[in-house]
């Protein structure tokens, strides 16, 4: 048993949520097969939801947060892993109702663990984290439906966020003409520096619009926003175009008619990075490894310490964060 530091979310008797870094004991972790000494984690919107007491993400508090972790196997009761293996754990129940990766230790089922692919180490993998995995899965779905760079512009909504900024960088490096939609006009130069060719105000697509179809504009889109934004993006796809839908920061609900689907043959593609089978995650991580040294990916990331997590999650929850944040947990 060892004492370790963890980002901890507690619910007071009056229902108020408290966020802090506390000492925990590895003996209190669940009895799963693989004990991982976490070296890096990263921040996601879901971490901010859990840290703000969202019971749809975390049913019971106190709770050790963090849906991402990368580090070194310290103990393993599974033949698939041995001490010293470099591993990545994202999604499934990590950081939701299982003690998460914003801590020096996690103990998880072997079925959630994947070996760091060649080209990635714990730090480099968390430059992507769940955000990068999701961006890659969105791009894969668009490509499967024929959205190639020659087909025209691709829109990314929530572009200064974690998923959005990594999607901008990955799409640009794959040769796409990327339009970034953002509520932060002052970050237009930053978005262009990581790969956007054009930046539009999020209000352009974020307001309700009763017209059943809008001007055909985009060959594809990565949407992290949902709500009216998603409804308007669907109406703005070119014939045969596709939108990969993965988020809900504006709203989980959106209004639509069948018209863009039956008159333009557009596609609405759902993306889940959490519960997909491990081999599918492994394949996407191998793709990310090929972009591990992309300058834009380093550029859009900032690194913080575990102590800085409570304040950083406030910022993220308020939609004020720029880019993706990695958390250095330990050696």
The answer to whether residue 131 forms part of the interface with ligand NAP (CB under 6 A) is yes
Q: Which is nearer to ligand NAP, 35 or 133 (CB)?
A: 133
CB 202 within 8 A of CB 227: no
Beta bridge mates, 107: 35
Where in 164-183 is the site for ligand NAP (CB under 6 A)? 164, 182-183
Q: Which stretch binds ligand NAP (CB under 6 A): 40-48, 77-85, 101-109, 254-262?
A: 40-48
The answer to whether residue 184 forms part of the interface with ligand NAP (CB under 6 A) is yes
Nearest CA among 98, 45, 323 for reference residue 190: 323
Measured CA to CA in angstroms, residue 168 lies from 52, 102, 128, 254, 288 at distances of 28, 26, 13, 24, 14
CB of 244 vs ligand NAP, minimal distance in Å: 9
* Residue in 247, 292, 309, 326 binding ligand NAP, rule: CB under 6 A: 247
CB 291 within 8 A of CB 117: no
Concatenating the DSSP letter of every residue in 151-168 gives G--EEESSTTSHHHHHHH
Where in 132-151 is the site for ligand NAP (CB under 6 A)? 134
Three-class SS state of 292: coil
* Residue in 62, 119, 152, 206 binding ligand NAP, rule: CB under 6 A: 206
Could you tell me how many residues of this chain bind ligand NAP (CB under 6 A)? Answer: 32
- What is the rounded CA–CA span in Å between residue 195 and residue 176? 9
The answer to whether residue 272 forms part of the interface with ligand NAP (CB under 6 A) is yes
Q: Which is nearer to ligand NAP, 160 or 232 (CB)?
A: 160
* Triad 131, 134, 140: Cα angle to 5°: 145
The answer to whether residue 219 forms part of the interface with ligand NAP (CB under 6 A) is no
Nearest-CB residue for ligand NAP: 161
- What is the rounded CA–CA span in Å between residue 185 and residue 181? 9
The answer to whether residue 44 forms part of the interface with ligand NAP (CB under 6 A) is yes
Residues that bind ligand NAP in the complex, under the rule CB under 6 A: 44-46, 130-131, 134, 158-164, 182-184, 202, 206, 224-225, 246-250, 271-274, 316, 319, 321
């Amino acid at each position: 048993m060892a004492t370790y530091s963890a980002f901890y979310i507690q619910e007071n008797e009056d229902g108020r949520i408290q966020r802090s870094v506390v000492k925990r004991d590895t003996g209190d972790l669940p009895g799963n097969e693989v004990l991982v000494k976490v070296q890096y984690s990263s921040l996601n919107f879901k971490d901010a939801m859990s840290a703000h007491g969202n019971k749809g993400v975390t049913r019971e508090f106190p709770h050790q947060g963090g849906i991402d972790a990368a580090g070194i196997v310290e103990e393993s009761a599974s033949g698939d892993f041995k001490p010293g293996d470099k591993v990545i754990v994202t999604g499934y129940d990590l950081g939701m109702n299982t003690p998460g990766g914003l801590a020096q230790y996690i103990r998880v089922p072997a079925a959630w663990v994947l070996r760091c692919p060649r080209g990635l180490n714990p730090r480099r993998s968390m430059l992507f984290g769940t955000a990068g995995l999701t961006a890659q899965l969105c791009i894969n779905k668009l490509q499967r439906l024929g959205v190639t760079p020659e087909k025209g512009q691709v829109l990314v909504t929530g572009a200064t966020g974690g998923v959005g900024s990594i999607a901008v960088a990955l799409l640009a490096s794959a040769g796409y003409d990327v339009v970034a939609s953002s509520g932060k006009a002052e970050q237009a130069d930053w978005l262009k520096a990581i790969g956007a060719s054009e930046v539009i105000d999020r209000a352009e697509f974020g307001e309700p619009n009763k017209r059943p179809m809008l001007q055909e504009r985009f060959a594809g889109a990565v949407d992290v926003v949902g709500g009216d934004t998603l409804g308007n993006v669907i109406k703005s796809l070119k014939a045969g175009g596709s939108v990969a839908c993965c988020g809900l920061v504006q709203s989980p609900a959106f209004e639509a008619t069948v018209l863009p689907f039956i008159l333009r043959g557009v596609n609405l593609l759902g993306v889940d990075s959490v519960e997909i089978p491990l081999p599918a995650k492994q394949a996407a991580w191998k793709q990310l490894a090929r972009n591990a040294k992309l300058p834009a990916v380093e550029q859009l990331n900032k690194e913080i310490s575990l102590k800085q997590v409570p304040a950083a999650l406030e910022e993220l929850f308020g939609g004020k964060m720029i880019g993706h944040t990695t958390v250095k947990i330990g050696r």
